[in-house]
Amino acid sequence: MALALENGRRQFDYWLTVYKRTWKGTLVSSFLLPLLYLAAMGIGLGSFVDSNGTGALGGVNYLQYIAPGLLASTGLQIAVGEATYPVMSGLKWQKFYYSMIATPLRPADVVYGQFAFIAFRVTSTCLVFLLVIAAFGGLESPLGLLGLPVALLVGMAAAAPVAAYATKLDNDAGFAMIFRFGVVPAFLFSGAFFPVSQLPDWIEWLAYVSPLWHGVELSRDLSLGTVEPWMTVLNLGYLLSWFGIGTWLAVRGFTRKLIG
């Protein structure tokens, strides 16, 4: 266990060193765009929504309603981005994963190090976003600060199976499917902007399958101070299941790809 932790720490050091050289390129996509989205949807559009009453939103203003959902969505989008092209690069283009396993590192250590860096990216981005949400008055309850670990869990629940999927691809064409039929629909129809109960029945059930819906619900309950213990346990269990199974599949995929 101690060896695995040490190997994971070394992997994280590598990714952090790389990020120190490239972080400026992530400022717009990771920080500025979510903030602009919050301002446009929560404040701009929100003023029109609030003027027609907030009964359908549980009596809270639109900013407070969508802010937790945008936080969870940001975690998912950052994580999926880091689990697609960077993983493909390590396996096919730059092939730095092969250099890593030429050392005493195991494929599992490579996976854990990659996931540690993804967790860092999600946490750092969502922390800034959460502070802006709080400054704009988007948190009804102090429990809303726990939206940060929720966003992290949502991100890792998505990143793990996506990384596993990336090990099965021969080129990056498959990533378009993930974003087009996974990330974008989840972002729009997982309850971040409106209750999923307003969707047609044949679409509504798809929202409940998405890990993002569970993250949005959990984050919103914390932010509004309306936590129900049984629902919290259900949401956490579902997200942890995605992460656990996805990690297992990712380790198998990396092992097959790197060792054969």
Query: What's the confidence (pLDDT) of residue 135?
Result: 84
Mean per-residue pLDDT over the chain, rounded:
87
Q: How many angstroms separate the CA atoms of 77 and 217, rounded?
A: 17
Residue in 221, 235, 77, 200 with CA at minimum distance from that of residue 147: 221
Q: Is pLDDT above 80 for 132? A: yes
Q: Is pLDDT above 70 for 117? A: yes
Q: DSSP readout, 96-121?
A: HHHHHHTTT--HHHHHHHHHHHHHHH
Q: What is the pTM of this model?
A: 0.90
Query: What's the confidence (pLDDT) of residue 13?
Result: 77
Query: Average pLDDT of 248-260?
Result: 93
pLDDT digits (tens, 9 = 90+) for 155-214: 999 999 999 999 999 899 999 999 999 999 998 889 888 888 888 887 888 889 999 999
| pLDDT grade for 56, boundaries at 50, 70 and 90 | low
Q: The tokens of 197 are what?
A: 């109960």
| pLDDT grade for 29, boundaries at 50, 70 and 90 | low
Query: What's the confidence (pLDDT) of residue 41?
Result: 72
- Pinpoint the alpha helices (H) of 89-200: 96-101, 107-135, 147-166, 173-178, 184-189
Q: How many angstroms separate the CA atoms of 250 and 230, rounded?
A: 30
pLDDT digits (tens, 9 = 90+) for 134-160: 888 888 899 999 999 999 999 999 999
Residue 168, phi then psi, degrees to nearest 5 = -95, -5
